[in-house]
Structure 1
Amino acid sequence: MNQRYMIFIIFSCGLNFVQSSKKPNFVLFMVDDLGMGDVGCFGNDTIHTPNIDSIARQGVKFSHHVIPAPLCSPSRAAFITGRHPVRSGMLGYGRLRMVPFLAATAGLPPNETTFAEVLKDVGYKTGLVGKWHMGLHCENRQDFCHHPLKQGFDFYYGLPLTNLRDCGEDATRSVITARIPQMTEILALSMVIVVVTLVAFTKIGLIQRRGFIFLLAVSFIIFATPVVLQKGLRRINCILMKNYDVVEQPVILENMTLRITQQSMQFLKSSQNEAFLLYVSFLKVHTALFSSSKFKGISKHGNYGDNVEEMDWSVGKILSTLEELGLKENTFVYLTSDNGGHLEEIASDGQREGGHNGIYRGGKAQVWEGGLRVPTVAMYPGVIPPSTEVMQPTSNMDIFPTIIKLANASLPSDRVI
C-alpha cells in the first residue's frame, strides 16, 4: 500500500472531495482486543453498539481492514507512524514483540515520526487519553524517552502500559498464573524436594552444615522470587499518569472508562477554538475486564458484553460532545481495534472473557484473519457519503497518510511510509 491513502479508496466509491479552508479536526478511537464479531454493524445482534453502528451509518464501514501485527505494541506503533512495525524494531523475525513491564527499557524509538508530531508542526493541538503501551524510559526513570509527550502529544492521561490481569481487583489472577495456574504449588513442591535432598546430602556428609544453610537460602530466594514478583505486579505495572506525573498507583479500574470519557470531553472543550487531534485509546476490552456499576450485568454476554457496551457508551458521549460544540461537521472520526479478539481468555469461573472474530479463524497473537482483520468505521460529514462500505483491503497504517493529507501537511521524506 505504498503511498496509498485511505481517503483515496473512499474516493473510488463516488466521493467528491472539497478541501475546506478550515483545518479539519481528528478524533481517533482505538479499542483493545475488539473482534470482528463483537460489533452490531459487523453482524453481532446481541451486543448493543449503537454509537459505533451510528458512525458506520453516517460514514463508512471498512469490511477488510487489517493490521500488520496481531498484538498491541507493534500494531499501535504501525498505526501511529504509518510504517510496518519491523522498521521501528517493534516486531522481530519469528516473534511478536510487546512491552511486558513498565520498567522495560524498550518502546517506540524517539526518532520515529508520529502523526501527532506532524500535525503539531502545522499548528494542531494534540492529546492522547487512555492506553499507550509503547514504552516509557530508555536509561533511567527520569528520561521519559518513549513517553507520549516526547512523541508529539501536548496532553496525556492514561496507562503507560496496559491493564494486565494483575491490574484488576481479583488478587488471585495474574498474567503469570494465567499461563501457569499451579505455579505456587509447583514452586512449593520443588522447594520441599530441594530441602529433603539437602538434608539427605548433609546426613551422608556430602555437604557441611554451613554449605547446607547457604544452599537452602539460595534455593529459597530462587523459588520465592516468582511468587513475590507475581504479588507485586499490580503496584509495579498498573499506574495512571497525567502528563509526566503518576496520579494513581495502583490504578483503580472500576470507573476508569468514565474518567477516560471525561478527560476526552474536557480536551475537546478546551480545544474547540483551534485545530486538534484527539487519540482515545480504550483500556477495554483487554483483560482485566472491568465495568462501572451502571454497566454491570446489562448485556447478554456476561462481563465481556458489559465491557463492549460501556466502551460504546463512551464513544457516544465523546461524539455527542463534538456535536454540542458544533465541531462534528469538521471532524474526521475513525474507530478501530489494535488486533482481533483474544480467544484464550477464560475467567476463573469458566466464563469467556475474550472477543468473537466472526467467521474468521484465529485471534489475538495469531496470524490468521481473526487476529489481523479488525472492525473499523469512519465518518466525515459532507465528505464521506453515509452508509458507504469499502470491501477493498485497507490497513491501520493508512490512517497516517490520510490524516497528513487532510491536514494539508507533508509526509516525512526521510523514511518509508
Structure 2
Amino acid sequence: MKPGIRRVLRNSWLAALATVGAGQGTGIASDAPAGRPNVVLLVADDLGYGDLGFQGARDIPTPHLDALAQGGVRCTSGYVSGPYCSPTRAGLLTGRYQQRFGHEFNPGGGGGAAAAKNVGLPVTETTLADRLKAAGYATGLVGKWHLGSEAKFHPQKRGFDEFFGFLGGQHTYFASKSGDVYRGTEVVKEEAYLTDAFSREALSFIDRHKDHPFFLQLSFNAVHTPMDATEDRVARFSSIEDPKRRTYAAMLSALDEAAGNVIERLRAAGLEEKTLIIFFSDNGGPTMAGTTTNGSKNDPLRGSKRTTLEGGVRVPFVLSWKGTLPAGKVYDQPIIQLDILPTALAAAGVDAEPEWKLDGVNLLPHLNGKSDQPPHDTLYWRLGDQAAIRRGDWKLVRYDQTVDLAGAQSDARSGPPVTPFRLYNLAKDIGETNDLSTENPDKAKELLAAWEDWSGQLARPLWGPGSRATPAAN
C-alpha cells in the first residue's frame, strides 16, 4: 500500500474512532485538540548541569538551546530517575520507575552481555512510541538506543517506525571507523561526524512527515565519551586551556548546532506552534574520580553521573510549545523525565489509563498555570545500594562514597561502597554539603520510611548487582 493511501486510511480511522468511541475506553481523549501537536525529544548524554548558557556557563556558548529555554519553560528542579544512561531511557519511554520492571542497571554495550537474550527493556513494557504510533503518529528514533541489542529489543520492535543510530551505550563520533551504525536493521557506512549525521537524519524525518503528526526522539551520544570532535570546532575554543574541556566544548557546540537545525526546520515548515519540544540530559556529567570523565561541570551541584547526589540525577530540562506553554518561564517545582510520557500523550489527546500504572504525571496544567499544586509530592531513586528521596525541599540520600574517599574500591557483587543516609535541605544547600540528619531526626526517619516502602514495591534487578545472577546486595 502506498504511504499516502495508508496515511489517509489511518487518519480516517482515527477520526471515526475519536467521534464514535470518545469516552468509551478507546484511549483517545474526548477533548483532544483539533490539531494534535508533533512531539520532539532532544536528549543529551552525560551533559554537565552547569554547561549550558541558560544554566550559567560562560565558556561554552549554546545559543540555540538558550533560545529554546527563553521561548519555553526552564525547569530548575528537573530530574531523571537513573544516575546513568540506560535506566533513565527505560523510565523515559515507559513513564514508570524502571526499577519496577527490573531495569535498574545498564545492560552494557552493543555486544557481549548486551546481546544476552533477556538484557534490554523488557518486552512486557509499552513504550511512548508504541502509544503514539497507536494514536496515528509517525514515530522515529535517531541516535543512541542502549535498551538492548537482541532483535526483540530493536527500536522498530518497540514502537518506532524508523531508526537511524547505534544500539549500544557509546560510539565513536567518526563512524566510518566502525561498522555498527544502523538504518533500520541494516548496517550503513556513515562518513559524517556522528552528531552532524544525526542532525541530517532528524531533518529528513521532519521533512518526510511534516504533513501529519509525528514523534521524533533525537538521542545524541554527545557529550558522552569518546572525546571526538571536528578540528574546526575545537579551534573555536582555543581559549579553554584544559584540552579535555576544549574537546568537550566542541562536542557540545555540535549538539547545540544540531538542536538549532531541528528547531529552525520546524519553524520553516510552520510547525513551531504545532510541536511540543522537550530537552533534557539522561544524567549528570561524569566528574567523579574513578569514572571516565568528559570535562563536564555540574556546578553548583555536588556529585557525578553514577551517584544519587544532585550532580547525578538533576539535569537541564526545558519544555517549549509556542503559543501553548508560556515563554521565558522558570519553574522551580521538582519534575522528572517520567513525566514526559503522560505529558506527550495529553498533548496528543490520548488518555492515560489507570492500568498502565504510570509514575509520571501530565505537566501541562502545572506549566501553563492551570494548577498551582506541585506535580509530585515525592520523588525516589535506587541504584543498587545507592538511594535517595526528595520531598519538598528535603532530600535523604545514601550515595557512592567514592565521591568522598579517593581510591575507594567497588564490590562487583553489590555495587560501590556507600555512605550512611544523609539529610539535606536543598533550598538552603543545593550543593548537599551540610548533613542535617542529627538536627532533624524525625524528618530523616519519615523520609527513610517512605523510601523503604517504595523500594519494597520494586522488582529485583534483571541483571547487574543484586540480580538473580549475583548475590543480593546487603
Give the TM-score category using the shorter length: 0.7 to 0.9
Does structure 1 residue 128 correspond to structure 2 residue 141?
A: yes
Supply the distance in 2 between the matched residues of 1:326 and 1:73 (Cα, whole angstroms): 34
SS at match of 1:79: helix
The residue matched to 2:42 in structure 1 has which SS?
strand
Residue 262 of structure 1 and its aligned partner are, at CA, apart by 0.5
> Are positions 1:99 and 2:112 aligned together?
no
Contact 2:46 2:285 in 1 (8 A): yes
User: Counterparts of 1:8-407 in structure 2 under 5 Å?
Assistant: 20-91=33-104, 96-103=105-112, 104-105=115-116, 106-137=119-150, 144-164=151-171, 167=172, 239-248=180-189, 255-299=193-237, 300=240, 301-344=245-288, 353-407=294-348
Taking CA–CA contacts closer than 8 Å with sequence separation of 6 or more, which of the two structures ends up with the larger relative contact order? 1
- Partners of 1:121 and 1:410 lie apart in 2 by 12
Amino acid at match of 2:106: R
Is 2:91–2:97's contact at 8 Å kept on the other side of the alignment?
yes
Partners of 2:173 and 2:260 lie apart in 1 by 25
TM-superposed CA distance for 1:19, in Å, is 6.4
Q: 1:168 to 1:306 in 2, by over 3 A?
A: closer
Report the equivalent of 1:10: none
Aligned-partner Cα distance in 2 for 1:346–1:288: 16
* Distance of 2:295 and 2:306 partners within structure 1: 13
Deviation at 1:375, TM superposition (A): 0.5
Query: Over residues 64-105 of structure 1, what are the superposed CA-to-partner deviations in whole Å (9 max), with x where a residue is unaligned?
Result: 0111110100011001110101122111xxxx4333343422
Q: Distance in 1 between matches of 2:290 and 2:319?
A: 31
Q: Percent identity?
A: 33
- C-alpha distance in structure 1 between counterparts of 2:269 and 2:65, whole Å: 20
TM-score (norm 1): 0.72
Tell me how far apart the structure 2 counterparts of residues 345 and 305 of structure 1 sit (CA, whole Å).
20
* Alignment check: 8 A CA contact 2:173 2:195 kept: no
Preserved contact between residue 33 and residue 348 of structure 2 (Cα < 8 Å): no
Provide the rounded CA distance (Å) in 2 between the counterparts of 1:345 and 1:322: 41
Pair 1:159–1:345, CA change in 2 (3 A):
farther
- Indicate how the Cα distance of structure 1 residues 397 and 116 shifts in structure 2: closer, same or farther if over 3 A, else same: same
CA drift at 1:239: 1.2
SS at match of 2:39: strand
User: Helix, strand or coil for the counterpart of 1:99?
Assistant: coil
The one-letter amino acid of 2:286's match is H
* 8 Å CA contact 2:222, 2:252 repeated in 1: yes
Q: Which runs of 5+ in 1 are unaligned?
A: 1-17, 138-143, 170-233
Letter in 1 for 2:346: K
Residue 110 of structure 1 deviates from its aligned partner by 1.3
Q: Secondary structure at the match of 2:355?
A: coil
TM-score normalized by the length of structure 2: 0.64
- Inter-partner Cα distance in structure 2 for 1:50 and 1:133: 29
Give the residue type in structure 1 aligned to 2:136. Answer: G
Deviations 1:115-165 (A, max 9, x none): 11101001100000000000021xxxxxx100000110000000111325x
3-state secondary structure, aligned to 2:168: coil
CA distance in structure 1 between the aligned counterparts of 2:232 and 2:41, rounded to whole angstroms: 25
In 2: Cα distance, 1:29 partner to 1:345 partner = 28
Q: Secondary structure in 1 aligned to 2:88?
A: helix
Q: Please state how far the C-alpha of 1:334 moved relative to its aligned partner.
A: 0.5
- Residue 412 (structure 1) shift: 4.5
Distance apart, 1:353 and its partner CA = 2.3
Query: Deviation of residue 45 (structure 1)?
Result: 1.5
Distance (whole Å) between structure 1 residues aligned to residue 57 and residue 69 of structure 2: 14
Taking the aligned partners of 2:107 and 2:84, their CA distance within structure 1 comes to 7
CA distance in 2, matches of 1:97, 1:267: 29
State the secondary structure of the residue aligned to 1:296. Answer: helix
> Gaps (5+ residues) in structure 2?
1-30, 359-474
Q: Which residue of 1 aligns with 2:22?
A: none
Tell me the CA shift for residue 344 of structure 1.
4.2
CA contact (8 A) 1:132 1:160 kept: yes
In the comparison of the two structures, how many residue pairs are matched?
317
Q: Report how far residue 168 of structure 1 moved.
A: 6.6
Match in the other structure for 2:349: 408
Question: Cα gap change, 1:346/1:109 in structure 2, threshold over 3 Å: closer, same or farther?
Answer: closer
* 1:222 aligned partner: none
Instruction: Give how far 1:289 is off.
Output: 2.0
Shift of the 404–396 alpha-carbon distance from structure 1 to 2, 3 Å rule, reads same
> Computing the radius of gyration over CA atoms, which structure comes out larger, 1 or 2?
1
1:295 to partner: Cα distance: 1.4
**Compared with structure 1, are the counterparts of its residues 101 and 19 closer, same or farther at alpha carbon in structure 2 (3 Å cutoff)?**
closer
**SS of match in other structure, 1:334:** strand
